[in-house]
Structure 1
């Protein structure tokens, strides 16, 4: 299918979502890949990962870019050649990109029980008190996405989700919150936007 959804995050940032319903051959026929990306596709053993990778390139093509405009630095962080900022995520049926004039990090996650089971490894579980079971799963997923999104922006070795990234208290209905990165004697404050898409949650982190 074409673009699934376009979300305005703020006045300089837009999130684009693609729901993957096409088969692999369709993507291969319509996506123009550079040599590095062709090698990367060939090395992927999972068809789901291949389609997720190609759906990201379809999103780029939808907004006037191509795979040739995208490159990765030594930390694996994606960049656009026109110096706009980009972040990328893929989870099962969906791929997502966010493009901005400011640093942006996004994460897209399927809402699943496993995230709650490992919550104590990455977050303060007191933030899950007085919630129903499904609300606990959803909130743990948002908090994982917050930490993943901030990590994508910084791309620095040594950052620990439970020890360095701290989310403010929030309600699921808020759809916005704030978080802090406290690392290497520095503190950075991030704005957070999150929402639900079918059985998934997307999270965007950015600094203004």
Structure 2
């Protein structure tokens, strides 16, 4: 396993990133899938997508430190959860990479490859206040961080019918190339959830993790 990131994240959470170089056969031999997962795998067309499916589950089990692997199951909205675990989990994958996050609070993760045409889609997912934070020299990276952050928040929320532009707001004012944190707000109907964001910028992709912010309870007066 070529683990290029495995760190604590907003303790007691953690996240990980795996560069997938292994064959599908090797991956199949190194993960025991549960019946529902086998059914899902059988529906996936393309070796690359199957490798990503398998790698994400191996990575999440590796991060768990458990001797026996729990099934990664999905609820009626498609949100994954790890069997017999109290932690929230999320996975993401792209060509040759798999990522995972686990935390007691709501959490989500997204790995997004750089695509220059993302600018053409900006009006669909970036609001006016977010546009004001874009810097000419770093705009392409910022576009991808915003998109991946909103994907991560969407996964953490775990319900459908979210509009990236209308319901999710990213704040990374003061962005610099060495900055690795930001915040987000999800606001829809009666829901208002703040998230802490952590991100890493690699040569050809970005990785963003979102964890629900827990506010301290004020002492009794």
The answer to whether the Cα contact below 8 Å between 1:12 and 1:102 also exists between their aligned partners in 2 is no
Q: Which residue of 2 aligns with 1:202?
A: 207
Q: Does 1:187 align with 2:184?
A: no
Q: Is the Cα–Cα contact under 8 Å of residues 116 and 141 in structure 1 kept in the other structure?
A: no
1:113-158 Cα deviation digits (max 9, x unpaired): 13222112111362464413xx222111100111111111112232
Could you tell me the TM-score, scaled by structure 1's length? 0.90
What does residue 126 of structure 2 align with?
123
- Does residue 107 of structure 1 match 2:110? yes
Give unmatched runs, 5+ long, in structure 1. Answer: none
Deviations 1:83-126 (A, max 9, x none): 11111111112101111122111111112213222112111362
The answer on 1:98 being equivalent to 2:83 is no
Residue in 1 that maps onto 2:218:
none
Contact 1:128 1:140 in 2 (8 A): no
1:42 aligns with 2:46: no
State the distance in 2 between where 1:166 and 1:48 align: 33
Give the 3 Å change call, closer, same or farther, for CA 67–73 of structure 1 in structure 2: farther
How large is the Cα RMSD of the aligned pairs?
Answer: 1.8
Q: Does 1:167 find its partner at 2:167?
A: no
Counterparts of 2:119 and 2:201, CA distance in 1: 17
TM-score (norm 2): 0.85
Deviates more, 1:61-70 or 1:147-156: 61-70
Alignment: residue pair count: 206
Contact 1:149 1:204 in 2 (8 A): yes
